[in-house]
Amino acid sequence: MTNEPDSDAKRSQPNAGTKRARHKRAPIGAPPGTMLPDPSAPRPVISAMRMGEGACTEERAVSIERIAALREQGGLLWVAVAGIGDIEAIRRIGELFQLHRLALEDVAHTHQRPKLEDYPEHQFLVLRVLDSMHPGETEQMCMFLGDDFVLTFEEHPGDCFEPVRHRLRDPSSRLRKNGADYLAYALVDAVVDAYFPAMESLGDRLEVVEEAVVAGSAAAEVVRELHRARRELLVARRALWPLREVMSALMRADSARVTSDTRVYLRDVHDHVVQLLDLLENYRELGASLTELHLASASIRLNEVMKVLTLIATIFIPLTFLVGLYGMNFDHMPELHWRYSYPALLALMFGIAIGMLWWFRRRGWL
Amino acid sequence: MTNEPDSDAKRSQPNAGTKRARHKRAPIGAPPGTMLPDPSAPRPVISAMRMGEGACTEERAVSIERIAALREQGGLLWVAVAGIGDIEAIRRIGELFQLHRLALEDVAHTHQRPKLEDYPEHQFLVLRVLDSMHPGETEQMCMFLGDDFVLTFEEHPGDCFEPVRHRLRDPSSRLRKNGADYLAYALVDAVVDAYFPAMESLGDRLEVVEEAVVAGSAAAEVVRELHRARRELLVARRALWPLREVMSALMRADSARVTSDTRVYLRDVHDHVVQLLDLLENYRELGASLTELHLASASIRLNEVMKVLTLIATIFIPLTFLVGLYGMNFDHMPELHWRYSYPALLALMFGIAIGMLWWFRRRGWL
Amino acid sequence: MTNEPDSDAKRSQPNAGTKRARHKRAPIGAPPGTMLPDPSAPRPVISAMRMGEGACTEERAVSIERIAALREQGGLLWVAVAGIGDIEAIRRIGELFQLHRLALEDVAHTHQRPKLEDYPEHQFLVLRVLDSMHPGETEQMCMFLGDDFVLTFEEHPGDCFEPVRHRLRDPSSRLRKNGADYLAYALVDAVVDAYFPAMESLGDRLEVVEEAVVAGSAAAEVVRELHRARRELLVARRALWPLREVMSALMRADSARVTSDTRVYLRDVHDHVVQLLDLLENYRELGASLTELHLASASIRLNEVMKVLTLIATIFIPLTFLVGLYGMNFDHMPELHWRYSYPALLALMFGIAIGMLWWFRRRGWL
Amino acid sequence: MTNEPDSDAKRSQPNAGTKRARHKRAPIGAPPGTMLPDPSAPRPVISAMRMGEGACTEERAVSIERIAALREQGGLLWVAVAGIGDIEAIRRIGELFQLHRLALEDVAHTHQRPKLEDYPEHQFLVLRVLDSMHPGETEQMCMFLGDDFVLTFEEHPGDCFEPVRHRLRDPSSRLRKNGADYLAYALVDAVVDAYFPAMESLGDRLEVVEEAVVAGSAAAEVVRELHRARRELLVARRALWPLREVMSALMRADSARVTSDTRVYLRDVHDHVVQLLDLLENYRELGASLTELHLASASIRLNEVMKVLTLIATIFIPLTFLVGLYGMNFDHMPELHWRYSYPALLALMFGIAIGMLWWFRRRGWL
Amino acid sequence: MTNEPDSDAKRSQPNAGTKRARHKRAPIGAPPGTMLPDPSAPRPVISAMRMGEGACTEERAVSIERIAALREQGGLLWVAVAGIGDIEAIRRIGELFQLHRLALEDVAHTHQRPKLEDYPEHQFLVLRVLDSMHPGETEQMCMFLGDDFVLTFEEHPGDCFEPVRHRLRDPSSRLRKNGADYLAYALVDAVVDAYFPAMESLGDRLEVVEEAVVAGSAAAEVVRELHRARRELLVARRALWPLREVMSALMRADSARVTSDTRVYLRDVHDHVVQLLDLLENYRELGASLTELHLASASIRLNEVMKVLTLIATIFIPLTFLVGLYGMNFDHMPELHWRYSYPALLALMFGIAIGMLWWFRRRGWL
């Protein structure tokens, strides 16, 4: 993320992600497979890991020619492309691995929904990676699963796959013994697992909001935070909902590329996605309930405030009228000259106030 | 759109589209296939493109006789009819291409939902084209897909198909090499792609609304803009929801007219429609959440305003009563003549005010 | 409708339809097929049309004996019974055409949902006809489709089938050449088409409401009109939702009585019903959005009103206290005798008012 | 219901039904088939009707031994048990007819959802009977349908089956000629038909509420009645929703016990249930719409009240300040001594009032 | 629960359960089957029951070696592990019974949704046990069902299975005669049955809330209690909704391990789950309706309060102005010196008050 200093600033805006995606779309009616260069996207950094004959060679920042050479050596090859700013490079990798041009177009346009597409030569997966720094945004991650290769395209260089690399470096890892399908599983698992801490931090924030709302806080900030949380839930839901179908399609995939052993692990990922969606729905319902609770609390508070105002006003307004009455300067106001007018008026006013209070109590306002 | 000056004015009203559609319906109980002339609809302008023997001939504003001549020359023929104001012309085209009269009736009545109908001689598609100028309206576009022809009927002359024409003029285009199904795909793709910029501009407007609502704006204009956006979402959804089914029906169509190669491209269009619907649902949820946020903000603001009013009123109303009391003109009010009455009253009033403030603070209103 | 003068008066009440239906139900636990006479229902008027040997004979207000005679002549017979006030007549017609007694019970009880029932001897259809005068009500229309007859039972004499009769009188009409299934289609089509003008007038009314709400009208009449429109939508939806299933069941009906040629036309009616439901859903969403918009507008207006009140009150209440203070009649109020007390107080009050205004502006209330 | 005097009192509370059901559940982890005696439940009264050889014998308040004797006589036997307070008696009946112990447990626990269970020896049905006196409550009715017997268990002695008994006494009744399945149909039909008057009375009450709400009534009683109606709808819906599935499962039941002739009648009951659910949904939507209408009306009324208050207050508060100003007792207030001060002030105040009114009218508040 | 004194304190917070679950998740990208020790979880206490040769031996707090020995003795073995704080012990039990490592991972991570997984060697079930003390929380219970063993893992030592143990000790119990599947059924049944009292107590609390809301209480505590109840419903629903699918999957399980006799009992448990969900939905709707009722009541009360305030204020504010007017000290106010000014003003003020009251009554505010 080092090569796009201003992108980070834009990201902190709630909708920056949407805005960025918008500028990459091919013009209307362009031939299928048209890929438009996005000048703001980071240049791709390609790294490769080759598993074969019990060994694992890892190379970083390699050229496409080197990839071609590695491929000819045989074994299982994982090529990770981080950054999609160079359309020409993507096209050349596509030619090298015989990728379908519609799939390549989807790699370049980073607004895809998660999906699984079966092509004769490879499975094509689109996932969305939650940005751990900016929970309201997701990045596109595309994966091609071939017989002897796994190709991943990330929008920005990230550390999402680092744990998988770490496990591959361990000679005893099961990842080395299994095929491309198991490697793909491990990568998808890493993407899905990254949603859990984000969901949990969202849960924490909702709890803070809940405490504030239950405590009767009327601060506008609480409502705004609630809205923000609900927006982030929308983003996560958009990424996860189709992912569930992708995982079950992959599990049931009628393809020799996915072994029955790996299917058990894919079911586990599928369960994680379902669990996340379950959590999401829970948070959504909690968010809706909190909004209602907030409105109800606000109406209760308003009622209380209005009752106090009404109480004070209705008691003193008539009394103020009375004292104003005897403040008039008419020449002929006989009461003004009676001896006990003043104490009588005081008594009357006291009686009115008591009567009002009694009436309020009877109506249940006190 | 040059021949309907006043139609444009009507269109700027939010519901003009609905109103226009209303005047074209055949009377109740009329025989099927009845087409009523709509005098306000623009007269059709017919253009034709013929692909054959590696060449592509393009003719604009041709007569129906010329179409018949072109058809006899063989090759793939695309006839685009822009404007449906001449029922007789539509009928003659229908006879020329042996179109079913129920399908022709649907061409003339511009209020159809998107649908796909299989007739033995042709596939019949109804799509709705988003009007880029008036995002709250859609126009009907009908397409007949035969073995060697594609027929399109647009409600008004528009530029929706111009990019496809442009690609056809390029001798190296894949469009020239493939059959009628691929041409139909390209046209549908152009229609669907035109929804993306409209959705994005809608998204921009919603973001502006969101910023205003989050900033606490209570302007009625914000609420109205929100309502407008939600209305436009309804229109787009009405056009896109059935389109998804149309696309998947076309993909699975049990017809030799759609080759398996084209089906891959249709799946791509299907994905775009799903993506648009996903975006729509997102905007709908955002719109609903903003409406709730607005109501919550309004209640917070009302509470604040009422608290200030209550504070001022409840403090000063009793004090005003007291000063009124000693403004009375009774002859016998002993306090008036005491030496320290005035400072004592001032102190009492000061005490009352302090007491009230303390009470307000204890209740959490300050 | 001439023979039920007071029914018309009741109909203008919103729920008269529901009330009327209530009095016709058989007692609980009565044997199936029990039909109760409804004394308020109009006496049936029977008319018949016979198509055969290229000719069409039409007879109005015929007796049941005449119907039996017409049936023996062969050909396609359409018997239209308008009014269901004579249970005995319905029973005799049922015997004549061998109708199932459960179906006959449904004819007499006018609260059925639209449905299609297959009996060995006939298809039995229940539709609901929208009352063009009273959009909030529907009447039941039952139809029996046999091999060589179509029987229709309407609740009241109406003009719903007049256009079909008109077309039958035309010797060149396709209706004469096709069988009972095509005639049934034409009748159902007439019933469905009658919903369109009603929906359009409902749409017009909603537009008027929308304009009023968007313009910020707070009139109670607007809310009531909105409620009325939503009620009518409920009635129409209740009639149309099951009709969709009826139409698709009829299209797929596993019966020799419906020819494959007619199925194409039934698909067209099905499309119309789907289009109506689509429109209905649109109006429902619009209605819900308008209700929310109204609430939001009301809260905005309330906020505005309260702000003005609070502004005026909070500025003048302290000032009024001050002038009351110096209206007191204490003997010892030194300020009263100072030379510049009065202008000083005026200046202080001016300062307070300015300060308040400044504070209001800072809080964004002005 | 004669033997539970206090139960009736509890029933008039909205939730008494729920409370009663609560005390009968077996302890957690008890073996399946455990039935707990409910001391408050009425003791069972058993009556039997035997149809055979064209005759029908009816016996009331019979012993279980007599039932066993009747069963040995052959023919179709209907045993109706009213009251489930004697667990031992239920167990003995279960042994006599070889009922499954899980089904018997369900008979004793009166909180079941409607369901249909197929056991090899019998069909087991649970229905819920609406209490005509207390529309917010339902009683459980269990039915066992064997080859030559129908067993019904009611929670309390009621008159729900009286019409069926009446029809059985009539020698010409179809009920005598048909088998156990037709008798079961007649009993289910009686249960379902009893919902109609309750729904209609609920509809009447909703209409009264609607009239009050549309007329703008703000009485709290209206809102409470609306809530009560919605609660009763919930109860009826809980009883009817699963009943629909029960009826269609019974119609499609893969059992020789239900003849195809009876299936036609079961379809009729199924239609009635669907019709009731349709009505229920309608009332639910009406209830929701009325709640919204009430809130909207309340906000309109509040706005009106606030406008009047604001109008009066904002006009008179400044004027009161002015008159207070010239009621001050400062020695040096030159205006007090000018000749035309008083009429000038009156004119000024009149001008302020007029200006205020003009400003209110311009804002549309008048 | 004795060995985690502070956990109990945390539990009384509404969200403690969520918080606890959070700390046990394996790091992102860890290999599948990774189990993290949770230091705060209680150490496991293992108890075993062996049924065989008509006898039942019960041992508590046994070692894993003893379990291995018991297993070799043959017969049906039930091993109950209470507490999952010792990862190593879980791993060794897993090896002993050949459990799949993905299933073992789920045992250690206590945030699973209820699910059923088929492994060749065993069925794996996850359930959630409602904590009877803290209705807003659920604990995870995992069960492995093998051919001759049932393994249960509880999060904390609890008494949920005590009734089943009690029944096993009875030599005549059906539990001893049936296989592992029937034992598993009995355990699941005990878990599901424990939801009923919790749901009933929730129902009681909702009734209390309902009574308060219907009685018009505006206490903030009522709204908070409503929110709490809705939260607990969410928790229970999350546990029960997937359980329904689990039960029907188990009923239909294509495995020789579940006998057809046990399937009947599983259907009974399935019915109980459906009944609980039905109750839950009912409570949810009741909760939503109560929230609406509360808002409506609050608006009614606010209207009443505002009407009283408006009434008093609008009557007395003009009168107070009038008396202030004649309290002014202008030298030239001729009315002050007229003889009948005072009674005339009194009469005028009386007239204004009467007029106001009449106007209020006409508007329906009194």
Rounded to whole angstroms, what are the CA distances from B279 to A141, B188, B246? 19, 19, 19
Res. D3 pLDDT band, cuts 50 70 90 = very low
User: How many residue contacts between D and E have a Cβ separation below 8 Å?
Assistant: 154
Res. B303 pLDDT band, cuts 50 70 90 = confident
CATH architecture of the domain with range B308-362: Up-down Bundle (1.20)
> Which chains, if any, share at least 3 CB pairs under 8 A with chain C?
B, D
Q: What is the DSSP string of C282-309?
A: HHHHHHHHHHHHHHHHHHHHHHHHHHHH
Q: Which residue of C has its CA nearest to D329?
A: C327
Closest by CA to E359, choosing from E317, E321, E315, E323, is E315
Q: Which of C289, C299, C327 sits opposite B327 (nearest CB)?
A: C327
Whole-angstrom Cα distance, residue E278 to residue E283? 9
The structure tokens listed for E173 are: 């119990």
For residue C308, the one-letter residue type is V
The CA dihedral of A272, A276, A278, A282, to the nearest 10 degrees, is 150
Cβ proximity of A232 and A136 under 8 Å:
yes
R_g of chain A computed on alpha carbons: 34
Q: What is the DSSP string of B4-37?
A: -HHHHHHHTSTTHHHHHHHTTPPPTTPPTT----
pLDDT digits (tens, 9 = 90+) for A23-70: 456 677 777 777 777 777 788 899 999 987 778 888 988 999 999 999
pLDDT digits (tens, 9 = 90+) for C58-77: 898 899 999 999 988 888 99
Asked if residue E202 has pLDDT above 80, the reply is: yes
For residue E13, what pLDDT is reported?
39
Whole-angstrom Cα distance, residue A190 to residue A195? 9
For residue C218, what pLDDT is reported?
66
Which chain A residues are closer than 8 Å to E220 by Cβ? 216, 297, 300
Backbone φ, ψ for residue E45 (5° rounding): -115, 120
Superfamily of domain D304-362: Magnesium transport protein CorA, transmembrane region (1.20.58.340)
Rounded to whole angstroms, what are the CA distances from D98 to A359, D48, D183, D310? 70, 18, 20, 79
For residue D137, the one-letter residue type is E
Q: What is the length of chain C?
A: 366
| Number of other CB atoms surrounding residue C363 within 10 Å | 12
Q: What is the ipTM of this complex?
A: 0.76
Asked if residue B14 has pLDDT above 80, the reply is: no
Q: At which residue do the structure tokens 């939905």 appear?
A: E281
Q: Which of E32, E294, E320 sits opposite A324 (nearest CB)?
A: E320
| Pairing mode of beta strands A123-130, E55-59 | unpaired
Whole-angstrom Cα distance, residue E30 to residue E22? 16
Same fold for the pair C5-295 and C302-362: no
The CA dihedral of A36, A41, A43, A49, to the nearest 10 degrees, is -100
Cβ proximity of D232 and D135 under 8 Å:
yes
Which percentage of chain D shows pLDDT scores above 70? Answer: 92
Query: Could you state, in order of their start, the residue ranges of all structural domains in chain E?
Result: 5-295, 307-362
pTM across the whole model: 0.81
Mean of the per-residue pLDDT values of chain E: 85
Mark yes or no for CB contact E299/A299 under 8 Å.
Answer: yes
Rounded to whole angstroms, what are the CA distances from E69 to E43, E151, E165? 22, 15, 21
Q: Is the dihedral of CA B9, B13, B14, B17 positive or negative?
A: negative
Closest by CA to A309, choosing from E366, B318, B352, D365, is B318
Q: Which of A231, A309, A328 sits opposite B309 (nearest CB)?
A: A309
The structure tokens listed for B186 are: 């390209």
Cβ proximity of D28 and E189 under 8 Å:
no
pLDDT digits (tens, 9 = 90+) for A93-130: 999 999 998 899 889 888 888 999 988 889 999 999 98
Most confident of B253-262, C4-13, D233-242, D293-302: D233-242
Rounded to whole angstroms, what are the CA distances from B113 to B131, C274, C275, C285? 16, 8, 6, 17
Beta bridge partners, A128, equal: A140
Which chain C residues are closer than 8 Å to D317 by Cβ? 312-313, 316-317, 320
Whole-angstrom Cα distance, residue D96 to residue C179? 59
Cβ proximity of C228 and C136 under 8 Å:
yes
For residue C338, the one-letter residue type is W
- The pairs formed by A167-176 with CB atoms below 8 angstroms and a separation of 24 or more are A167/E29, A167/E31, A168/A49, A168/A51, A168/A56, A168/A58, A168/A78, A169/A56, A169/A58, A171/A54, A171/A56, A173/E31, A174/E31, A175/A51, A175/E31, A176/A51, A176/A54, A176/A56
Cβ proximity of B46 and B69 under 8 Å:
no
Q: Which residues have C-beta within 8 Å of that of residue C227, sequence separation ≥ 6? A: D214, D289, D290, D293
Backbone φ, ψ for residue E309 (5° rounding): -60, -45
> Which chains, if any, share at least 3 CB pairs under 8 A with chain B?
A, C
For residue D291, what pLDDT is reported?
87
Q: What is the DSSP string of D56-80?
A: EEEE-S--HHHHHHHHHT-SEEEEE
Mark yes or no for CB contact E193/D28 under 8 Å.
Answer: yes
Res. B80 pLDDT band, cuts 50 70 90 = very high
Closest by CA to A83, choosing from A111, A42, A112, is A42
Res. D87 pLDDT band, cuts 50 70 90 = confident
Q: What is the DSSP string of C103-116?
A: HHHHHHSTTPPPEE
Superfamily of domain B5-295: CorA soluble domain-like (3.30.460.20)
Q: C132: which DSSP letter?
A: S
Helices (H), chain D: 5-11, 16-22, 64-72, 87-97, 101-108, 162-169, 174-177, 180-193, 195-214, 220-251, 260-325, 341-362
Return per-residue pLDDT of chain A as tens, 366 residues: 334 334 333 333 344 334 334 445 667 777 777 777 777 778 889 999 998 777 888 898 899 999 999 988 888 999 999 988 888 899 999 999 999 988 998 898 888 889 999 888 899 999 999 876 776 788 899 999 999 999 999 988 877 888 899 888 888 888 888 889 999 999 999 999 889 888 888 999 999 999 998 887 767 788 889 889 988 998 888 899 999 999 999 888 777 888 888 898 999 999 999 999 999 998 998 998 898 888 888 888 888 888 888 889 999 999 999 999 999 999 989 989 999 999 999 999 999 999 999 998 888 776
3-state secondary structure of C1: coil
The CATH fold of domain C302-362: Methane Monooxygenase Hydroxylase; Chain G, domain 1 (1.20.58)
Mark yes or no for CB contact E295/A297 under 8 Å.
Answer: no
Asked if residue D145 has pLDDT above 80, the reply is: yes
pLDDT digits (tens, 9 = 90+) for A142-152: 999 999 999 99
pLDDT digits (tens, 9 = 90+) for E30-60: 777 777 777 777 888 999 999 877 788 889 8
Query: Nearest C-alpha of chain E: how many angstroms from A148?
Result: 21
Query: Nearest C-alpha of chain E: how many angstroms from A8?
Result: 24
For residue A25, what pLDDT is reported?
61
Q: Which residues have C-beta within 8 Å of that of residue B359, sequence separation ≥ 6? A: none
Mark yes or no for CB contact E336/A329 under 8 Å.
Answer: yes
Please give the CATH number for the structural domain made up of E307-362. 1.20.58.340
* B271 vs E20, residue with greater confidence: B271
Q: Which of D14, D29, D220 sits opposite E190 (nearest CB)?
A: D29
The CA dihedral of E165, E166, E172, E176, to the nearest 10 degrees, is 0
- Mean pLDDT across D127-151: 87
Q: Is the dihedral of CA E154, E160, E161, E162 positive or negative?
A: positive
Cβ proximity of C185 and C269 under 8 Å:
yes
Rounded to whole angstroms, what are the CA distances from A83 to A38, A77, A136, A154, A191? 11, 19, 20, 6, 17
Asked if residue E10 has pLDDT above 50, the reply is: no
The structure tokens listed for B171 are: 């001798």
Closest by CA to A305, choosing from B302, E231, C131, E116, is B302
pLDDT digits (tens, 9 = 90+) for D214-251: 887 767 788 889 889 988 998 899 899 999 999 999 88
For residue B266, what pLDDT is reported?
92
Write the burial class of residue B226 (CB in 10 Å: 0-12 exposed, 13-18 middle, 19+ buried).
buried
pLDDT digits (tens, 9 = 90+) for E67-109: 999 988 888 999 999 988 888 899 999 999 999 988 998 898 8
For residue D162, what pLDDT is reported?
87
